[in-house]
Chain A
Amino acid sequence: MASDDDALKAAVFQRLHPRTYLDRFVAEKYRPDGRQFDGWRDVSVNVGSISTADGSALVRLGETTIVCGVKAEFAEPELDAPDAGFLVPNVDLPALCSPKFKPGPPSDEAQVLSDRLNEVLSTTIPLSSLVIKPGKLVWVLYVDATCINYDGNVFDAALLAMVAALRNTKLPKPIIRENDEHVVCSRTETIPLQIAKTPISMSFGVFDTTLLADPTAFEEPLLDTTISVVLDEQNSLVAVSQLGPGLPGDEDVLSTCISAAKQRRVSLEKQIL
């Protein structure tokens, strides 16, 4: 009974004084979930479990859970870009995933996430590979990710889910006949997508003077700075963002993050791709 009581006291303290709570852990060189500062949470990726999607992935990053499905549709290309298909990524943070969100149109956070993911994903697939009939018909790939459980670092998880879903995607083979306006698809033959790059994101946060890898939903609101490093399979940079100030003093926090991200990317790649 005493331990139950202590656990309740700790939970109340965490609720009322989150900053002090985290401070005490950081002073002991640990984080509330038992990780060290540079520790990453376990990742699991499960692809192809949704039969109604043309490609799908379920990603768990610690407790954070994201499902992503790709739906391919036909559309006419834009007049100014007759040789380009469409890649349309969107993230949904429904009210289901956390008490932070309300039902209704996408929250600010979801809009920002979708926009950042759109920029990174535009490097993955050459839009010219999505053309069926130049100027007439192209593929639209709707890449929709839904958060089921929100426990921080959703950007990393969503990008991983989207990339894994795209790698899993198989388009039905279009059959183009001469003198026939209409294009039909084969029911049996499929073709995989041409993936030019597989970007993976690694995010960090700065709490006071400490660099924390892969922050959780509890740590995220307390961070002064968030840093995301997106690397491709050659370990070269695709995107870097730092929101907030660096560490005080001379230490170059961005280069520290980039080299930590490179190490992480190598071990992650062995594990999941």
Chain B
Amino acid sequence: MDRRRINGPTEDSFGPVFEADEAEGIWTPADGRKDRGLLDIRPIFLQPGLISEANGSAYIETQKTKIACAVYGPRQSKNTAYSETGRLNVEVKFTPFSCRRRRAPLRDAEDRSLAVAIHQALVSSVRLELLPKSTIDVFITIIECDGLESCVAAGSVAASTALADAGIELFGLVVSCAASLVENQVWLDPTEDEERVSAGTIVLSCLPALNKITNVWQTGQMPALDVLRCMEACQQKATAEIHSIVAQALLENAKI
């Protein structure tokens, strides 16, 4: 019972049960991808600076995935010991309606692991040594999620864009891409359905400006060679395509 919110029924509610699927019309990985090639990513819409009171912000949309991100800071660290370098604080929040099952507030631990992954992707790109005693807060709200790993990738891209929009000194833009191993093939930027049928998924974040990888997150069962194959595909895509999308979006925003 949470007295700070309007509460529903005293007994737990549960998602509606649907009648059994008919055999025909269900998508299987053997059918392949309908709307794009295996190494294509979903089109990215990226808009920096839409939260008026934030120091920097960005909104990213890749078909169904919709994420808003705001950066506040650098501001004074409160209630923390003196620190020579700045702190990067990343918080991720799912809206309750963002996934197929409702995400009840408080009963959710997944946002923490996403925050850690995105923090790791970003932290080596930010020049924290220039900001003693300060904190940079990165807040990410996931409005709609289609594939958790793709969400981490899109969230990292949005956060890096927002950091750049806030005018915080960076070594470079962090770009990120996810890949799944489906039937022994590499599928980039998997959706939720594709992740479910895959053997394993990786998310790779990198700094194309320095040609360095900042974070790799792999889940599921994959042979080491296939992991490397996925990483290579991700890095190529991120460096070649996503980086220029981010740079272009920032440039256009700066012109206005």
User: Which chain B positions have C-beta within 8 A of A175?
Assistant: 19
Question: Is the beta-carbon distance between B6 and A115 smaller than 8 angstroms?
Answer: yes
User: Which chain A positions have C-beta within 8 A of B54?
Assistant: 96, 99
User: Which chain A positions have C-beta within 8 A of B141?
Assistant: 94, 96, 146, 148
A 198-221 to B, binary, CB cutoff 8 A, 1 in contact else 0: 000000000000000000010000
Stretch of B62-70, B127-135, B171-179, B216-224 lying at the A interface:
B62-70
CA distance A42 to B106 in the complex (A): 35
Question: Is the beta-carbon distance between A95 and B139 smaller than 8 angstroms?
Answer: yes
| A183 (CB) vs chain B CBs: closest residue | B17
User: Which chain B positions have C-beta within 8 A of A56?
Assistant: 97
Question: Is the beta-carbon distance between B143 and A142 smaller than 8 angstroms?
Answer: no
Question: Is the beta-carbon distance between B144 and A52 smaller than 8 angstroms?
Answer: yes
| B73 (CB) vs chain A CBs: closest residue | A99
Question: Is the beta-carbon distance between B96 and A51 smaller than 8 angstroms?
Answer: no
A 147-176 to B, binary, CB cutoff 8 A, 1 in contact else 0: 011110000000000000000000010110
User: Which chain A positions have C-beta within 8 A of B68?
Assistant: 96, 148
| B7 (CB) vs chain A CBs: closest residue | A88
CA distance A51 to B143 in the complex (A): 11
Stretch of A11-19, A69-77, A247-255 lying at the B interface:
A69-77
Q: Quick check: is A128 within 8 A (CB to CB) of the other chain? A: no
**Contact residues of B between 47 and 97, Cβ < 8 Å to A:** 50-54, 64, 66, 68-70, 72, 91, 93, 95-97
Question: Is the beta-carbon distance between A90 and B6 smaller than 8 angstroms?
Answer: yes
Question: Is the beta-carbon distance between A146 and B95 smaller than 8 angstroms?
Answer: yes
User: Which chain B positions have C-beta within 8 A of A92?
Assistant: 95, 105
**Contact residues of B between 36 and 55, Cβ < 8 Å to A:** 50-54
Q: Quick check: is B99 within 8 A (CB to CB) of the other chain? A: yes
Which of the four size classes fits the interface of chain A? 35 or more
Residue of A52, A76, A89, A90 touching B145 (CB-CB under 8 A): A52
CA distance A114 to B6 in the complex (A): 7
CA distance A95 to B57 in the complex (A): 13
CA distance A56 to B95 in the complex (A): 12
Question: Is the beta-carbon distance between A75 and B93 smaller than 8 angstroms?
Answer: no
Whole-angstrom distance from the CB of A67 to the nearest CB of chain B?
6
Q: A73-B14, A96-B141 are in contact. Are A67 and B96 (CB under 8 A)?
A: no
Residue of A103, A182, A187 touching B139 (CB-CB under 8 A): A103
Q: Quick check: is A111 within 8 A (CB to CB) of the other chain? A: yes
CA distance A97 to B100 in the complex (A): 24
Query: A-contacting residues of B (Cβ < 8 Å)?
Result: 4-19, 21, 50-54, 64, 66, 68-70, 72, 91, 93, 95-100, 102, 105, 137, 139-141, 143-145
A-B contact pairs, 9 of them (CB 8 A): A78-B10, A96-B140, A96-B141, A97-B51, A97-B70, A142-B102, A148-B51, A172-B18, A185-B16
